[in-house]
Every structure is written in C-alpha cells, then in structure tokens.
C-alpha cells in the first residue's frame, strides 16, 4: 500500500473516476477565474498607476455584456451542480444483487461479517467487479468509514443504520480509516480493504473458518425471543414486510426498512401498526447490535406467508 507521494490516492472503484472528474473540473474553474482576476488586477494596476498619470475614461454600461456574463456563470454552476448531484445519487442507490456485509464500529476497531459467516477485525476481503453493500452501525460514538482509493465515506452513527456501496475495479490492498474523531485512539482506528479476483476470493472464503451465517443466527434469535408466537397472529406478519409500505394507527404510512424494524424491536410502542394492539415488549438492553443485524437479516428473508415460522 505504500506507494510514496501521490497527489491523489489510487483510483480503485467505479466511483473514483467520477469523483476525480468533478473534482478536477471544479479545480479548473476555480483556477481559471483566479488567474483571470489576478491578471486583470495586475494589468489595471500597472496601466492606471499614478506614475503613468492615466485615468480610465467614462464609458456607457453594456447590459449585453453583463447579461451574457451572468448567463454564462449560471450555466456553468448548473453543470457543476448537476454533475455532483448525479454522483451523489449514484452513491446512494444500491444496485440489485449487491453483496451485503455487516460492519460494527467501536472504539477503536472495525468488525465486519460476510454473508457466509466469516468475521474480520480491521480488515475486509471483497471480490473485484461485484457491488458491495455495507450495513453499518456503531456501538458507542460516531465513527466514519472512509476508503480513499474508492472515494467513498459514510458516517457510522450509534442507534441508526447507515449504508454505503461500492464496486472495486483493481485488485490490491487499500487503506481504511475512521474519518471522524472518536476518542484518544482515533488515529489507530485503521484497517485494510483487500480486493481479490473472484476465484481468489472464493478460495479465501473456503480457507477461512466461518462463524454461523447471519441468517442462521437471526433465525435462532427469532425463535429464542419467541417472535413467531405473535407475529402473524396477534401482531402483523413479518413475511414480505421488509421494503413495503406500512400504515400506522396514526394514519401515517412509512416504508418498513432497517430503521423502522430496528426501532420496532427496541422501542415497539413508538410506531404501532394499524389494527394491532401494542403488546410487543421492548428488547432494549437484551440484544446486541450484532444480534440486531442478524435478526434483521433473517427477517429480510421472510418473503411470503409460507416462510413465516409458526408456533
């Protein structure tokens, strides 16, 4: 990873060329107007200096020139804004079929878990050419998951799930940093992202001891907390709920995504589904963030009523 001095980190993801392009465009615009203003200041300072005893002549104002200048700047700023907005939207729209990896941040380490169950600390192995979706949460304070070579960064906030995605394009090892000051050992909260060819990644998976996959662990938690004794009977079914619209007893509607399901587990009385009594107990303090992620991973697999476990 040590490549000596570089103006920019290596470009190693599909986002990197886009981000670099808009960055250099902004830089070029700023440099052009800075040099233009500097040249004009020097020119007029010399031309109309006291030693030359020259004074500018009064001229009639030209509305045409002013309007043309304003219109040109308007379109220039619109191009800059539209270009940046396009990249922003692309970074927040996760493609279908992305590999989901769980990330838990804590002072001062990154803990990751693959769908097959492999766990890593301050490291993450991923295959090249496949979209990777990270679902992230913090156990203590605000952290920030930053991979300079991929040009991606996202805050990791306690009590809330944030996600980010990327697709690596070049095999190799890349730096991972925490980009939000999180305590006395903030500078030590670093790691390595290892990008591998698909075949090499599969060999790495096969040669790495795996814990229980998140889906299987979540299924056990679902039974352990007796979720199946109420949901689908006295409580709304969870089969097919994820990603769909839910109507609350207040008449409000929302999408049953990660934030809603997490809140319903920890604070079930906050948002009650219409037509059902508020009988669900809170599991605040009884379940860890990792267990929450595993339980939610399992709930996402309940696609229809046939997959909803019964008592």
Residue bearing the bigger pLDDT, 277 or 16: 16
Supply the pLDDT for residue 34: 96
Paired residues of 121 in beta bridges = 111
Supply the pLDDT for residue 146: 96
pTM of the model: 0.77
By the 8 A CB rule, do 170 and 195 touch? yes
Candidate ranges 179-183, 215-219, 233-237, 278-282; pick with highest mean pLDDT: 179-183
SS3 121: strand
Reported confidence tier of residue 156, pLDDT bands at 50, 70, 90: very high
Supply the pLDDT for residue 117: 86
Task: Encode pLDDT of 214-266 as tens digits.
Answer: 888 888 888 888 787 777 667 778 888 888 888 888 888 888 888 888 888 88
Spell out the residues 6+ positions from residue 55 whose beta carbon is closer than 8 angstroms to its own.
48
Spell out the residues 6+ positions from residue 135 whose beta carbon is closer than 8 angstroms to its own.
100, 101, 102, 103, 161, 163, 258, 293
> What is the distance between the alpha carbons of residues 38 and 41, in angstroms, rounded to a whole number?
5
Residue bearing the bigger pLDDT, 298 or 232: 298
Q: Is the pLDDT of residue 310 over 50?
A: no
Average pLDDT score over the chain: 86
76-85, 153-162, 285-294: which range is least confident on average?
285-294
Residue bearing the bigger pLDDT, 101 or 254: 101
State what percent of residues in the chain have pLDDT above 90.
46
Task: Encode pLDDT of 53-97 as tens digits.
Answer: 666 667 676 788 889 989 999 999 999 999 999 999 999 899 988
End-to-end CA distance of the chain: 53
96-100, 187-191, 262-266: which range is least confident on average?
262-266
Mean pLDDT of 275-287: 82
Angstrom CA distances, 276 to 11, 167, 180, 257, 284, stand at 52, 42, 42, 19, 21
1-5, 182-186, 193-197, 219-223: which range is least confident on average?
1-5
Reported confidence tier of residue 5, pLDDT bands at 50, 70, 90: low
């Amino acid at each position: 990873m040590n490549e000596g001095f570089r103006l920019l980190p290596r470009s190693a993801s599909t986002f990197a060329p886009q981000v670099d392009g808009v960055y250099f465009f902004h830089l070029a615009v700023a440099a052009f107007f800075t040099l233009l203003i500097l040249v004009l200041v020097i020119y007029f300072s010399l031309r109309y200096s006291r030693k030359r005893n020259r004074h500018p002549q009064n001229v009639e104002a030209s509305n045409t020139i002013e309007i043309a200048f304003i219109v040109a700047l308007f379109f220039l700023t619109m191009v800059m804004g539209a270009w940046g907005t396009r990249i922003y939207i692309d970074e927040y729209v996760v493609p279908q079929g992305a590999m989901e990896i769980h990330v838990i941040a804590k002072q001062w380490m990154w803990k990751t878990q693959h769908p097959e169950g492999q766990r890593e600390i301050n490291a993450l192995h991923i295959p090249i050419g496949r979209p990777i979706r990270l679902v992230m949460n913090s156990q203590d304070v605000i952290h920030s998951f930053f991979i300079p070579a991929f040009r991606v960064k996202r805050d990791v906030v306690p009590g809330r799930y944030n996600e980010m995605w990327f697709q690596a394009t070049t095999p190799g090892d890349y730096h991972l940093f925490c980009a939000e000051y999180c305590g006395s050992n903030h500078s030590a909260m670093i790691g390595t992202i290892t990008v591998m060819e698909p075949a090499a990644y599969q060999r790495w998976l096969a040669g790495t001891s795996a814990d229980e996959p998140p889906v299987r662990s979540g299924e056990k938690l679902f039974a352990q907390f007796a979720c199946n004794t109420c949901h689908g009977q006295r409580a709304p079914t969870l089969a097919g709920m994820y990603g769909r619209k839910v109507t609350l007893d207040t008449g409000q509607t929302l999408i049953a995504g990660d934030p809603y399901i997490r809140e319903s587990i920890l604070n079930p009385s906050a948002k009650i589904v219409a037509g059902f009594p508020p009988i669900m107990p809170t599991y605040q303090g009884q379940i860890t963030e990792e267990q929450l992620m595993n339980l939610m991973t399992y709930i996402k697999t309940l696609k229809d009523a046939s997959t909803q476990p019964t008592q």
